[in-house]
Each structure stands twice: as C-alpha cells, then as structure tokens.
C-alpha cells in the first residue's frame, strides 16, 4: 500500500520534502515542493491518513514528520525549525554553563528571545540549570543526543551555525 501511495510523483515529492526537513509546516512543504496549496493539503492528508506522515499541532501551525522520526525527537525538531532556537542550541553546545548575558552576546539575540527559547528547551527537558554568582547558567543535559540529532537531520537543519558546530565536533561524532 505504501508503494501505491508514493507512486504519484507529487505525493512522493511532498513526502521527500518532509523526510529531509522534519517538523516542517505545510506552507513550507508547499514552497519546497512547488505545488499548489489545495494539492499540498490533499496529499499531506492522504499521507497522514496512511500513517506515512505524522502531523503535530503546535500553536497555530501543523508540523509534519515521517513516521520513522521518534516521538522523543519531534518536539526538539519542531523547535529547531526556528533559526533563533537553532542558534541558541548550537551556542549552548559550544559554551556550556552559559548565562543569559553570555548567550545574548554570543548569538546576537535579544534577552527576551533567548529567554523564550530557553523556556521551550526546558519544557522539552533538554536543559540543565545551575548558578554562577548571581546568574542562572544553562547547559544541554544530553549533549551526545543533541549532536546525534543534528547530524541525523543535518540536511533539513543546515545553516552556518549548525555546519560550523558539526565541523568542530566531527571527530567526536565518528567515535
């Protein structure tokens, strides 16, 4: 049945876009695949009904994942669709035990934006917090898991921040 569903070129193209970029929204799928809106929605619905794709609602947007993406990774992948969140995540991997002022200086993001993304990462259980004099510190709780996730989904997340991090950590990831 899966082969029949993916035999249509348009449906296969949409599926491949979601596979490359997990957590992608429907409008982004449409743009990447070069399809019309109605066509995109129709085929995403068929793929979701057949359990080839999973749709998750976050706020006002639906996010799509191929069925093989583990549930535990979906929240983080959804968050990494934001370039600001990706930049913060990479910075936390490079500079553990950072404070909000450290993170604003390293990322160029406002303190408010950093705090919002830190809150979201904390909700996902990704952060460990501590204290440094009068500031709270933040670090990634399971660095290896996050690095492996970034490597696994590199194509869909690739930007200068992720690429630089993965080049730096390439020796560690080979072991």
Model confidence pLDDT, tens digit, residues 35-81:
999 999 999 999 999 999 999 987 788 999 999 999 888 988 888 88
What gap in Å lies between CA 72 and CA 66, rounded to an integer?
Answer: 14
- Can you give the residue ranges of every domain in the chain? 2-68, 76-174
Please state, in angstroms and rounded to a whole number, the distance separating the CA atoms of residues 100 and 110: 9
Whether pTM > 0.85 for this model: the answer is no
Helix, strand, coil content of the chain in percent (nearest 5): 60, 15, 25
CA distances to 32, 35, 45, 163 from 11, rounded to whole Å, are 13, 10, 10, 30
For residue range 88-128, list pLDDT tens digits in order. Answer: 988 898 899 999 999 999 999 999 999 999 999 999 899 99
Architecture of domain 76-174: Orthogonal Bundle (1.10)
Q: 2-68: what CATH class?
A: mainly alpha
d(CA 159, CA 106): 16
63 secondary structure, DSSP code: E
Q: What number of residues does the chain have?
A: 175
């Amino acid at each position: 049945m899966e082969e029949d569903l993916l035999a249509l070129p348009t449906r296969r193209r949409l599926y491949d876009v979601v596979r490359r970029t997990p957590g992608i929204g429907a409008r982004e799928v449409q743009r990447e695949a070069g399809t019309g809106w109605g066509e995109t929605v129709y085929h995403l619905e068929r793929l979701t009904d057949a359990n080839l794709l999973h749709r998750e609602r976050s706020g006002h947007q639906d996010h799509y994942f191929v069925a093989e993406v583990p549930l535990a990774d979906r929240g983080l992948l959804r968050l990494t669709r934001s370039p600001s969140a990706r930049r913060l995540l990479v910075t936390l991997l490079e500079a553990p035990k950072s404070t909000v002022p450290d993170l604003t200086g390293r990322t160029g993001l406002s303190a408010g934006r950093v705090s919002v993304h830190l809150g979201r990462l904390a909700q996902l259980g990704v952060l460990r917090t501590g204290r440094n004099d009068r500031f709270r510190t933040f670090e990634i709780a399971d660095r290896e898991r996050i690095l492996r996730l970034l490597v696994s989904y590199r194509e869909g997340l690739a930007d200068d921040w992720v690429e630089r991090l993965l080049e730096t950590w390439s020796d560690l990831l080979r072991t």
